[in-house]
Structure 1
Amino acid sequence: MRYLTTILITLAAITLTGCMEWDYGREESFSNSANGLFITNEGNFQYGNASLSFYDPATRKVENEVFYRSNAMKLGDVAQSMVIRNGIGWVVVNNSHVVFAIDIDTYKEVGRITGLTSPRYIHFVSDEKAYITQLWDNRIFIINPRTYQITGHIECPSMEMESGSTEQMVQWGRYLYVSCWSYQNRILKIDTTTDQIVDELEVGIQPSSLVLDRNGKLWTLTDGGKVGTPYGHEAPTLCRIDAETFTLECRLRFAEDDEPSELQLSGAGDRLYWLNEDVWSMSVDSNRLPVRPLIEQRETLYYGLTVDPASGDVYVADAIDYQQQGKIYRYSASGEEIDEFYVGIIPGAFCWK
């Protein structure tokens, strides 16, 4: 469901500008050094109502609209993802073509990267280099985070500018692995010392989520494409790849009409989690899909997923109807509900502080 929404957003973006008018108002002061969870709320396409929330698991307190309240400025249009490096949070705002750098305690903007096409995810190689993947753009942008400048790009082969997309990234040693999603079926291997693609591996149709477990194995979910599209359709799969040899070791097939998404990894790197209507989990040492879910769906629209790397608690985002404030459900590692709270419109991604 999440990727169908993304397709509709991008189709509209082809003909309509992604620029927005920033609104300024009164700033609030924050100073929050507590550990916790950031939630990026996508908001509705072209409404400019993306937002950022912060939840403290210890106090069970949530603060919504922290970016707007701290900067007196809208976050933008379609907040896609966020990562933290050295006390700075990097918030990728897809349809505003921008990545904001913020202080993770005050939520104040400290810089921004502009000139992007349709950014999806950011991965840091060092303090001086990061990569940004793009939706429906065959280039991976190379960034200098110190200067917030684009320093180059990696052009992906056999990928058209308007239809190709690169998605999530993980690193094993000097090599970066990148999933190619829209109308693609490949994982790319990039040498981060030369910024060159050195290999590629075919998996299933449209690999999206990508994680690296404690055994040095890459796992990716492929959504199988959509019936009637030119690229074809097949059953979704969960694939295991050895990062050292870059070979496909195992391909676990879902039912034809399943829609698995949001692959996540436990803090210890020993368990996988994903959404497929319900919340599912399995050991990274398993060679078969589970038959019973960890958490059953309950008149909800599960849209995002994360796992607390310290406690193992599972957090699930409910987009409800894509119009009103979304809700986050917090469960124990065994699937018992602990808390629930409202955030912004269409909560889609998480980032642990």
Structure 2
Amino acid sequence: MNQKQIYVLFFFSAVLILLGSCRKDHEYTPPPQSTEADSTSTGFYLLNEGGWGYNNSTLDYFDVHNGVYTRDVFTKDNPDAVLGLGDTGNDIAVYGSKLYVVMNWSKKVEILDASTGKRVKILTDNTHKAIENARYITFANGFAYLSSYTTSEKGMVLEIDTATLSIKRAVEVGRQPDELEVVGNKLYVANSGGYSQSNLENYVSVVDLNSFTVTKAITVAPNLRRIKKDSKGNLYICPWGTTNKLYVVDTKTDQLSDSINVKVDDFAIKNDTAYVYGADYGTKNHSYSKIDLKTKTVLPGSFITDGTKIEIPYGIAVDPNNGNIYIADARDYVEAGDLFCFDAKGRLKNTIKKTGIIPGHMGFFNRLK
């Protein structure tokens, strides 16, 4: 999922082991797993990105109301898709009635009916028949916006009409753009430049959605990765481990307005609270912090309050209804990972074992039965 060169640098040994194990691991799909039912939660899809180059990404679904977790629903719902979901799932989101699954190394976006999981369309670039290094997706006003690395020298954002499911416009942004967010009539794109470790990008591109042109670059920090907004439209941005700060951009002025001292690799926002984990690569020293976004204050202690240990946190999401916190565990990047569910007070509710290889992305949706 992550930037491919960085993925190799950090996990080269694990990738080598994949040569002998990944395909065998996914020849067998365990049956649905029953867990604790919760009538207040929202169901969700979980994207397991799989090993880079091994075409073993999978899509699972957790029916939280009935407490049933089903693995590899894409294959079950699309038996004619002989190649499966594809290679290296990088992002997932539900918009309207459709589920969008961004497949990085397969150079496409799988568009599914969110209620049934059945394929609606495979989206590729109209001109080049592929979307090079598709990364992240966000939505606003009937359109999807997809970041794409394109080449080592430039990055693009594609505008997708969600009614016709076709690419309408494209705009060049910084090198290797990652997450992106819409506030008002502006699109903000975190550029990493991660292919060139000696010359990283350090800015957020601001795109006017009317003209679909870049109007400004906001300098933040090198190697930007995550970008998310709060209820007031402020943006919170973190790099790929180059600093121990969460940066704040005021979208009214389009200026860097603040920074919060916290170890951060990924985070999720619910209401005015950010749930942040910081992961030290190559170690098991991880922190789990909670930030009051009204005061920009890191609250004391860990948001995991019962001492639960996670091998390698790789994704985080918060249930929009009841505040349950989900953390994906990549374990060793080779064997199937796990998914932990904590209640809003940080106590472990249940653990789903062996989801798929490298679980990391969740899209909340109550799938109809």
One fold, TM greater than 0.5? yes
Do the aligned residues in 2 keep the contact of 1:70 with 1:108 (CA within 8 Å)? yes
Deviation at 1:224, TM superposition (A): 4.6
Q: Secondary structure at the match of 1:250?
A: strand
Q: Deviations over 1:284-315 (max 9, x none)?
A: 02334344221256151111100001100100
Q: Quick check: 1:39 aligned with 2:25?
A: no
The one-letter code sitting in structure 2 at the alignment partner of 1:91 is: V
Q: Quick check: 1:246 aligned with 2:261?
A: no
For the structure 1 residues 205 and 290, does the alpha-carbon distance in structure 2 shift closer, same or farther, using more than 3 Å as the test? farther
Deviation at 1:332, TM superposition (A): 0.6
Q: Secondary structure at the match of 2:53?
A: coil
Q: Which residue of 1 aligns with 2:169?
A: 152
The one-letter code sitting in structure 1 at the alignment partner of 2:178 is: E
Deviation at 1:146, TM superposition (A): 3.4
Kindly report which structure 2 residues correspond to 1:66-215, keeping only aligned pairs within 5 A, or say none.
66-72=73-79, 73=81, 74-114=84-124, 115-127=130-142, 129-135=143-149, 136=152, 137-156=154-173, 159=174, 164-181=175-192, 182=194, 183-215=200-232
For the structure 1 residues 91 and 213, does the alpha-carbon distance in structure 2 shift closer, same or farther, using more than 3 Å as the test? same
Deviation at 1:150, TM superposition (A): 2.8
Do the aligned residues in 2 keep the contact of 1:179 with 1:208 (CA within 8 Å)? yes
295, 302, 327: which one aligns with 2:338: 327
CA distance in 2, matches of 1:107, 1:39: 12
Deviation at 1:351, TM superposition (A): 0.8
Q: Which residue of 2 aligns with 1:61?
A: 68
Q: Deviations over 1:71-97 (max 9, x none)?
A: 122000011111111110011011000
Do the aligned residues in 2 keep the contact of 1:43 with 1:49 (CA within 8 Å)? yes
Q: Which residue of 2 aligns with 1:336?
A: 347
CA distance in 2, matches of 1:313, 1:338: 9
For structure 2, which runs of at least 5 residues remain unmatched after alignment?
13-40, 125-129, 195-199, 279-285
CA distance in 1, matches of 2:225, 2:302: 21
TM-score by length of 1: 0.82
Q: Which residue of 2 aligns with 1:270?
A: 272
Do the aligned residues in 2 keep the contact of 1:208 with 1:222 (CA within 8 Å)? yes
For the structure 1 residues 42 and 4, does the alpha-carbon distance in structure 2 shift closer, same or farther, using more than 3 Å as the test? same
Kindly report which structure 2 residues correspond to 1:281-300, keeping only aligned pairs within 5 A, or say none.
281-295=290-304, 296=307, 298=309, 300=311
The one-letter code sitting in structure 1 at the alignment partner of 2:70 is: E
CA distance in 1, matches of 2:67, 2:289: 25
Q: Which residue of 2 aligns with 1:17?
A: none
For structure 1, which runs of at least 5 residues remain unmatched after alignment?
13-33, 226-234
Deviation at 1:236, TM superposition (A): 2.8
For the structure 1 residues 3 and 271, does the alpha-carbon distance in structure 2 shift closer, same or farther, using more than 3 Å as the test? farther
For the structure 1 residues 35 and 289, does the alpha-carbon distance in structure 2 shift closer, same or farther, using more than 3 Å as the test? closer
Q: Secondary structure at the match of 1:320?
A: coil
Q: Deviations over 1:190-243 (max 9, x none)?
A: 111110111111112222111111222111112353xxxxxxxxx331111111
Q: Deviations over 1:251-297 (max 9, x none)?
A: 1234xxx5x2222111xx21001211232211102334344221256
CA distance in 2, matches of 1:149, 1:321: 38
For the structure 1 residues 118 and 262, does the alpha-carbon distance in structure 2 shift closer, same or farther, using more than 3 Å as the test? same
Do the aligned residues in 2 keep the contact of 1:220 with 1:239 (CA within 8 Å)? yes
The one-letter code sitting in structure 2 at the alignment partner of 1:134 is: S
How many matched pairs? Answer: 310
The one-letter code sitting in structure 1 at the alignment partner of 2:51 is: N
Query: How many percent identity over aligned positions?
Result: 24
Greater RCO (CA < 8 Å, at least 6 residues apart): 2
Do the aligned residues in 2 keep the contact of 1:223 with 1:237 (CA within 8 Å)? no
Deviation at 1:335, TM superposition (A): 0.5
The one-letter code sitting in structure 2 at the alignment partner of 1:321 is: D
Do the aligned residues in 1 keep the contact of 2:94 with 2:363 (CA within 8 Å)? yes
CA distance in 1, matches of 2:313, 2:92: 19
CA distance in 1, matches of 2:251, 2:98: 29
For the structure 1 residues 199 and 332, does the alpha-carbon distance in structure 2 shift closer, same or farther, using more than 3 Å as the test? same
